Each structure stands twice: as C-alpha cells, then as structure tokens.
Amino acid sequence: MKIINLVISIFFIFIKVKKVWSKPKKAKVLIYDNTFSELFEKYINKKEIEVYHNRIDENSSINLYVILKCLIKLDFKLKKYKSVYFNYVNPKIVITINDNNLGFYQLKKIFPNIIFIAIQMSWKYDTEFDIINKRHLYKNNSQLYCDYLFCYNKYIAKKYLSFIKVKKVFYIGSFKSNSYNLKKKINDSIIYISQWRNYSQSLSYHKKLTFGDWQKNEIPFLKKLSEYLLRKSIKLTVLGKTTNSAPQEKKFYDEIFKKNYTFIPQFYFRNHYDILDKCKLTLALDSTLGYENLSRGNRTIFFSIRNSYKKNFDMIRFCWPLKKKRIGPNWTNKITFKEFERLFLIKDMSDRAWKKIINNHFKRICIYDIKNSKFLRLIKTFQVPLNLN
C-alpha cells in the first residue's frame, strides 16, 4: 500500500513539475539543486549558469530530453540521469548551497576534472536534519569529497572535515546574508524571529525526542515574554517563519500576544535582512536568521531555552559546536523577568558597548564577508565571467 501511495504521489508531482524538452545548455558553472540558485546570478553572468534540479517538487523541473537518452540506453537510474545531464553541460565548476546533500560529495569520484564547491546554507546542529549528524557513518571513509568548502566558522569546519575530504576551507559566515547590503536606518522596533512550525507534536525530531519535546519550552517562554512586554508597555513585532501556513502561525501568536504585537508574514521575496537591519533589537531562540543578524552587527539577544528542558537537547545549545557559558552578555537559558530586564537593556546601550560584546564573544563565530568577497576571488581564478556591479 505504501509503495502504491508513493507511486501515486510521484505521478501527481510529475504532472505539476515543469518539463524541459531541450538539451541542457553548455555552461561553465552548474548549480547543483535549485534551492537559492538565484543568489549566484548576483555574482556570475547568467549566461554562464545552468541549474541542475536535484529534487522533484512543484518548484523544480525535469529534463525530458535527458530522460529520453536514459530510456534509449535502458538505464533508468538517477545516477545515469545525472551523468548524462552533467556531460551535456560540461561545466568547469559545480556549486551547491544545499550542503546537506550527501550525493553532492560523491560526485568528485565520478567527475574528477570538475571543481566542486559546497556552501553551508544554514547554522548547523547535531541533529538528523543536518549532514553533520551523519559524520559517524563516514568517518575513516574516503567516499565524500569537495574541492572548496565555504562555511560559517572554523568551529563548524572541524565537523565537516572529520568526514569530508576538502582541498581548502573558507570561513565566511552566511553566504545568503553576505549577499545583502547592510541598511542601517534604525527605527524603534523590537522583533522576535519566529520558529513556529506546522508539524505534528509526535513527529520524530532527534533520536527519541519529538517535535513536541523541541517546542516544549517555547510556549512558556512566549507567555512569560508577553507578560513582561505588557508590564513595560512594549509592543513586539513577530517575523513570521512559514509561507504556506502563515494564517495558522499568526493565530498561534494572536493567542499569546493578543493585540500587543504586529505580525509580518513570510513570503518568497521578503527581505528579512532589510527588516532586521532597521530594527532596534532582535530576539531569537536558535534560528539561523538570529546568528546571521548578529554577524551583521545588529543587536541580537538569544534565549537558549530548549536544552533546559532535557539534557539531550545540548546538541542545539547556543553557538553549537562551540561551548559557551549558559548565560552571557546577550544570551541566557533562563525564562525570568530578571533576565528579560537584563537583556532588554542592550536596546539602549551605547554602540561602543555593543561592539565590545561582538568583538569579545563573536568575532570568530559570526562572520560577515561583505558581498562574499572570498567566494568572488576564488571564482575569478577559474576565469568565469562575473557580475561586478
């Protein structure tokens, strides 16, 4: 029954997905996976880019010309489809920002003359959702390769290098965040970065932990925060997380903050970096966007409250994999008015005092490589036409 349902699901997705009949174009750069592929058009001439869609969903496409070639050779495996596609494009470089895809790191063995570049997409934690959690399966193994790796910092680089062979590593912070200029027109807003998910509470999150476990401390934290904001006559803005479930997400926050907040829904072209650059103070739990905001020098306070529920949540502690104290200048793992009061003082502290916190605690953790200068310098060495506007 499960197989039948899977076949039916694939069939309907196949109907919806975009079909391409022409040959893949020749290009110097092949973007592996269409996720955030548009980012690379900021740096590389669009004529030199082809995108390989590594998944079948409503936002991707399949090349029927390539499939036909596979059918003629009576080889229906994904590996063959990929091989035919790559041979048509004949790229000099293959780049992915989907660094969790294990298949990407197996391509170097098949195409030894191509340069492979992986870019860390989001902050890593030691959970099943991240490739880092697979390191024990490939340790002391030579299956995974990558020529160049661009990652957030040297601490997470050590985790990658424990199971992926890499020619050279660059520490750049977030490639996505680096692609957006800082816009420092500060208003007086205070923004909370939502991490709400439309998931079942029983959904497996990590080992024996469920999504309900992951979320356990979030609601008590938000209720306590709401009470504190009302006492201080402070109005909050919530930066929404989900696109398809935005109404349900807003309803969730309506029940907690009532009318004492504003909700900004997520949508595809929303520039959340621009929104956060302009606000006075940002509140985060453990979201990638929180760390990105900190790397941009913006005043960000963290409530690392998940691992105070169960010790097993230590794998998503503040600044993982680096070990920091549970309470610091702009972070805490406690849900108390006293800690709210202490951390909210950051909103009005001097720029000098805030920069001191950044320099003393995050200089090598949260990096901001403006306009991805290190990436551009590397790409230039391969004589690929760039957009340098």
Confidence category of residue 250, pLDDT binned at 50, 70, 90:
very high
Confidence category of residue 363, pLDDT binned at 50, 70, 90:
very high
In a domain, 181, yes or no: no
Question: Are 160 and 205 contained in the same domain?
Answer: no
Closest CA to 343 of 281, 276, 262, 257: 281
In a domain, 286, yes or no: yes
Mapped onto helix, strand or coil, the DSSP state of residue 190 is strand
What's the whole-number mean pLDDT along residues 294-305?
Answer: 96
Mapped onto helix, strand or coil, the DSSP state of residue 172 is coil
Question: What pLDDT is attached to residue 80?
Answer: 83
Question: What pLDDT is attached to residue 154?
Answer: 97
Question: What does the mean pLDDT of the chain come to?
Answer: 89
pLDDT at 153 over 80: yes
Question: Are 213 and 305 contained in the same domain?
Answer: yes
Dist. CA 336–CA 323, nearest whole Å: 23
> pLDDT tens, 272-295?
999 999 999 999 999 999 999 999
Confidence category of residue 311, pLDDT binned at 50, 70, 90:
low
Question: What pLDDT is attached to residue 3?
Answer: 55
Question: Are 374 and 331 contained in the same domain?
Answer: no
First-to-last CA distance in the chain?
55
Question: What pLDDT is attached to residue 313?
Answer: 74
Question: What pLDDT is attached to residue 266?
Answer: 92
What's the whole-number mean pLDDT along residues 112-123?
Answer: 97
pLDDT at 312 over 70: no
In a domain, 10, yes or no: no
Q: Using only C-alpha atoms, what is the Rg of the chain? A: 23
What's the whole-number mean pLDDT along residues 243-250?
Answer: 93
What's the whole-number mean pLDDT along residues 29-51?
Answer: 92
pTM for this predicted structure:
0.91
Question: What pLDDT is attached to residue 136?
Answer: 76
What is the total count of domains within the chain? 2
Question: What pLDDT is attached to residue 63?
Answer: 77
What's the whole-number mean pLDDT along residues 268-274?
Answer: 91
Question: Are 139 and 283 contained in the same domain?
Answer: no
Dist. CA 318–CA 330, nearest whole Å: 11
Residues of the domain holding 261: 190-361
Least confident of 42-46, 128-132, 319-323: 128-132
Question: Are 161 and 217 contained in the same domain?
Answer: no
DSSP collapsed to 3 states, 137-158: HHCCCCCCEEEEEEECCHHHHH
Question: What pLDDT is attached to residue 75?
Answer: 65
What residues contact residue 256 under an 8 Å CB cut-off, 6+ apart?
Answer: 219, 222, 223, 226
Question: What pLDDT is attached to residue 388?
Answer: 67
In a domain, 282, yes or no: yes
> pLDDT tens, 184-243?
778 889 999 999 988 888 877 777 777 788 888 899 999 999 999 999 999 999 999 998
**Residues forming beta bridges with residue 146, ordered by sequence position:** 166
Mapped onto helix, strand or coil, the DSSP state of residue 292 is helix
- Sign, CA torsion 326/330/331/336: positive
CB 157 within 8 A of CB 169: yes
Residue type at 248 in one-letter notation: Q
What's the whole-number mean pLDDT along residues 239-262?
Answer: 95
Question: Are 214 and 163 contained in the same domain?
Answer: no
| Region at 140 (left for phi over 0; alpha for psi -120 to 50; beta for the rest) | left
For residue 166, what is the enclosing H or E element? strand 165-171
Question: What pLDDT is attached to residue 202?
Answer: 80
Mapped onto helix, strand or coil, the DSSP state of residue 386 is strand
CATH number of residue 284's parent domain: 3.40.50
Question: What pLDDT is attached to residue 14?
Answer: 63
DSSP per residue over 89-119, as a string? Answer: H--SEEEES-TT-GGGGGHHHH-TTSEEEEE
CB 64 within 8 A of CB 19: yes
Question: What pLDDT is attached to residue 294?
Answer: 98
Question: What pLDDT is attached to residue 299?
Answer: 97
For the chain, give the percent of residues with pLDDT over 90. 65
Confidence category of residue 362, pLDDT binned at 50, 70, 90:
very high
Alpha helices in the chain (DSSP H): 2-16, 64-72, 78-89, 107-110, 135-138, 154-161, 175-178, 211-215, 218-231, 246-257, 272-278, 288-295, 337-344, 351-361, 373-380
In a domain, 138, yes or no: yes
> pLDDT tens, 42-64?
999 999 999 998 876 666 788 77
Question: Are 120 and 236 contained in the same domain?
Answer: no
Question: Are 350 and 376 contained in the same domain?
Answer: no
Structure tokens at 176: 């996505």
Question: What pLDDT is attached to residue 183?
Answer: 81
pLDDT at 137 over 90: no
Question: What pLDDT is attached to residue 76?
Answer: 64
Question: Are 165 and 206 contained in the same domain?
Answer: no
Question: What pLDDT is attached to residue 4?
Answer: 55
What's the whole-number mean pLDDT along residues 87-98?
Answer: 95
In a domain, 38, yes or no: yes
